[in-house]
Structure 1
Amino acid sequence: MSEFNAKRTRPDFFTRIWRTVSKEPVLAILVFALVVLQIAHPRAWMSLPGLVDWQTVLTLAGLLILTKAIELSGFLMWAAHRLVHHVHGERTLALLLVALAAGLSTVLTNDVALFAVVPLALSLHKLAPLPIKRLVIVIALAVNAGSILTPLGNPQNLFLWQTSGVAFPTFVWALLPLCAALMVLLGVVTFAMFRAQPLDLSGDVEAHRVDRVLCGVGVLAFAAFVTLADAHHAGPALAALAIGFLLWRREVVFKIDWLLLLIFVLMFIVLRSAAALPSIHEAIAHLGVSTPVRAYAAGAVLSQAISNVPAAIVLAEFSKDWRALAFGVSVGGFGVAIGSLANLIAVRLSGEKGMWMPFHIVSIPFWIVAMVIGWALI
């Protein structure tokens, strides 16, 4: 009888896994790509965890917990209520959220900015019906565009700033023209995508109470966690955070998006395995990135295949023109979703089904225009 139960459990287990994978297109693509890579260029399975940037994964886990804590406190709904009663038009609200997301991304990194702005947008959507898919798309574009400005804005900027050896103000001044031009482009796109119609506040009829203790702890812990993560202590900070909430408010930990963490782990393994392929290095060496325009084009295009952070790391071996590389991988964050990991976070945080098609309908033309703008400025 036990053998029968064991045989029956195994298919059920794999069936559940298959159902989960099939419902998540990104997860399905990553699993397929990993299998293909392991067949074409096999690595020892035990070596694969070494490809994961665990600092980033641990930081992401901590941010998911803290964002969930602030959400469960009711603060976001309260803030959304205050905001919609001061901003009366859909277009004005979209432009405001785009500016907020871009501004935060210059100092908090594009990922952290998303964890602040996307949940706020979702709370706004609960109060006043909004075109939430379009809103999340422009917010994702905003954090990628705004984060271009400073070395703190995204991982590829931080890497190129550290390897270039230039001063902080020098880096900012070099990237300012591209950031400004893309923010103007995004402003035009946002203006065209949203109407000036008034917000429908008929759904805002309930009192919005805030659990001040949970909110206060969440905000203070958010600041402390980001500080510790920035100092490369994300592991101990996450452990303290998880233990504290499990003992106090366990639902905060249980309700986070665990699948997003799995997708990030697989993405690091697949992208870094692809970036290490000899064929990619040979192709880059054959094409040559000796001129600024070639280095820029290589960064913008290669990011579409292996994401902009691995692209920056790979191309830095072939070119010392940090400005051209920064321009290229920054533009490469647009286009296909894999161009920037922030795109994936934004889509996952939205919780909306059918997001990938509308995202690419906007993001790919934006990338094409951004390519032209970057080429003119380089």
Structure 2
Amino acid sequence: MTPAIVASDWRAKLKSEWLLLLFAALGLMLAVLDPQPLAAYQRWLQWPTLAGLLGLLIAIQGIRDSGLVQHAAVAVVARAHSLRGLGLLLVSATALLSMVLTNDVSLFLIVPLTLAIGGMSNLPVARMAVLEALAVNAGSTLSPIGNPQNLLLWQHAGLPFLRFAAAMLPTAAVMFALVAALTLLWLPRGRVALVPAHIDGQVNSTRLGIGSLLALLGMVLLMEYHRAPLGAVLLLGLFALLARRSLARIDWLLLLTFAAIFLGLGHFAELPLVRHALDRFDFRDPLTMYAGGIVASQLISNVPATVLLLDRAHDAIALAVAANVGGFGLAIGSLANLIALRLAKQPQSLRLFHRVSVPFLLICAPLVYVAWRWLG
């Protein structure tokens, strides 16, 4: 390859990894302007979260390579009739799984399945990836274990599981109703059209598939009991010995991107200037808490926003509602949005996401506030 071609390839790669470069630059700038002890950087890096993400990436890559995803895609498409019906089925499955398996795990299961279905049919994959990102935010809102901010607030408030879920039900119901309506309106009419040449439901390796499914289950259990680093190390060792090719195909740059986001946003949220600005607001007022949580989520993502506002929140449910609604809008509002778009790898997906998600937030926010205040 000529130097010009190599340079062009690197420019294209850097352009596609702009999020990594942006937050790496933010982290470096803050480290220079506001140096902190090493312990602070280790805390911001969120090693357990990164370890959990790595374990999920390894297990799902094994499932993909085994051919089980393609086999499942054939089974789903064979029973589907309309594009809107298929889309609503995938969106509903995403929302339901996120209540039990958390938002990121459900995306790691559903988005590869959607890609496989899109490869053998006329299902619009880019639109489905956006819809699934919205659905995972809606579904995970209901469950105390559906996403990190709910888990944190549930434990902080000490509420019973069912009481927390009941308090979040009006919010989750409005969210999912809007996502379902958008699915039916946005997806094209017509029947599912198959591309026979692209249909391949053959399982390449049953052993790899079963082993990877067990690895996924084990990783989820270890994450539930706060042993994600142990699970990641075990899976790294097992796949290095038994499935090295799958290990090589993991999206390692996704891990680096999340590490950069955690460092940059974690440092930014703890700047004295940011904390002093927050002290000016009365977060005892429900509307102030609601609006503040949504705006903070748009700036630093909903999990760091929850941590930032936790000590100022007099009502854990109010903050939970705000942080979950704040997952819509900008892609950075929820890390699940970034995972969905990265897994889908569709051209112009970020632009498409914002064309839909920002208006969705503007419609959803007032409706949720009314439902939460009247029914919550």
- Report what 1:347 is aligned to: 341
Aligned-residue offset at 1:166: 1.1
Equivalent pair of 1:295/1:321 in contact (CA under 8 Å)? no
Instruction: Give the aligned residue type for 2:103.
Output: N
Name the structure 2 match of 1:361: 355
Q: Deviations over 1:284-321 (max 9, x none)?
A: 11022111121111111110001101111111111221
* Equivalent residue for 2:110, pick from 96, 99, 117: 117
The C-alpha deviation readout for 1:235-263, integer Å capped at 9, x for no partner, is: 22211111111111101111010000000
Tell me if structure 2 keeps the 8 A contact 1:80–1:123.
yes
Give me the whole-angstrom Cα distance separating, in 2, the residues matched to 1:76 and 1:182.
28
TM-score by length of 2: 0.93
Report the 3-state secondary structure (helix = DSSP H, G, I; strand = E; otherwise coil) of the residue aligned with 1:200.
coil
Q: How does 1:291-302 map to 2 (within 5 A)?
A: 291-302=285-296
SS of 2:24's equivalent in the other structure is helix
In structure 1, what is the Cα distance between the partners aligned to 2:296 and 2:201? 47
Alpha-carbon distance in 2 for matches of 1:42, 1:34? 10
Judged with a 3 Å threshold, the aligned counterparts in structure 2 of structure 1 residues 16 and 57 are, in CA distance, closer, same or farther, namely farther
Kept in 1, the 8 Å contact 2:121–2:193? The answer is yes
Contact residue 69 and residue 252 of structure 1 kept, 8 A: yes
CA deviation vs aligned residue, 1:128-179 (integer Å, no higher than 9, x gap): 1321110000000000010000111000000101111111111000000000
For 1:16 and 1:49, the matched residues in 2 are separated by 33
Counterpart CA distance in 1 for 2:239 and 2:28 is 37
Q: How does 1:48-59 map to 2 (within 5 A)?
A: 48-59=41-52
| Structure 2 unaligned regions, length at least 5 | 1-5
**Kept after mapping to 1: 8 A contact 2:144/2:165:** yes
Match of 2:314, SS state, is coil
Deviation at 1:121, TM superposition (A): 0.1
- Does the residue aligned with 1:201 lie in a helix, a strand or coil? coil
Q: Does 1:141 align with 2:173?
A: no
Rate the CA distance shift 1:205–1:365 in 2: closer, same or farther, 3 A: closer
Q: Indicate conservation of the 8 Å contact 1:22/1:28, yes or no.
A: no
- State the AA in 1 paired with 2:129: V
Q: 1:234 aligns with which of 228, 232, 241?
A: 228
Going from structure 1 to structure 2, the CA distance change for 1:42 and 1:130 (only over 3 Å counts) comes to same
Distance 1:220 1:37 in 2: 41
Cross-structure match for 1:8: none
1:45 positional shift: 6.8
- Check conservation: 2:283, 2:314, Cα contact below 8 A: no
Counterpart-to-counterpart distance in 2, 1:214 and 1:167: 40
**Mapped pair 1:63 → 2:56:** yes
State the distance in 1 between where 2:44 and 2:8 align: 28
Q: Distance in 2 between matches of 1:225 and 1:27?
A: 26
Answer whether contact 2:120 2:199 (CA < 8 A) is retained.
Answer: no
For 1:239 and 1:31, locate their aligned partners in 2 and report how far apart those are by CA, in whole Å. 25
Q: Is contact 2:24-2:261 (8 Å) kept?
A: no
Gaps of 5+ in 1: 1-12
| Aligned residues of 1:92 and 1:196 also touching (Cα < 8 A) | no
Match of 1:156 in 2: 149
Counterpart Cα distance in 1 of 2:348 and 2:200: 32
Separation of aligned partners in 2, 1:112 and 1:359: 20
CA distance in structure 1 between the partners assigned to 2:7 and 2:312 by the alignment:
44
The higher relative CO (CA closer than 8 Å, separation ≥ 6) is in: 2
Superposition pairs for residues 1-378 of structure 1, below 5 Å?
A: 20-43=13-36, 48-203=41-196, 206-210=199-203, 211-376=205-370, 377-378=372-373
Higher mean Cα deviation, 49-58 or 39-48? 39-48
Q: Is the 8 A contact 1:122 1:350 kept in 2?
A: yes
Give the direction of change, closer, same or farther, for the CA distance of 1:205–1:285 in structure 2 (3 Å limit).
Answer: closer
- Report sequence identity in percent: 38
What is the letter of the counterpart of residue 271 of structure 1? L
How big is each residue's C-alpha offset from its partner over 1:6-60, in whole Å with a ceiling of 9 and x where there is no partner?
xxxxxxx999977643331211221232243234433357853331111110110
Secondary structure in 2 matching 1:286: coil
Aligned residue pairs: how many? 367
Q: Partner amino acid for 2:56?
A: L
- In 2, Cα distance between equivalents of 1:205 and 1:286: 59
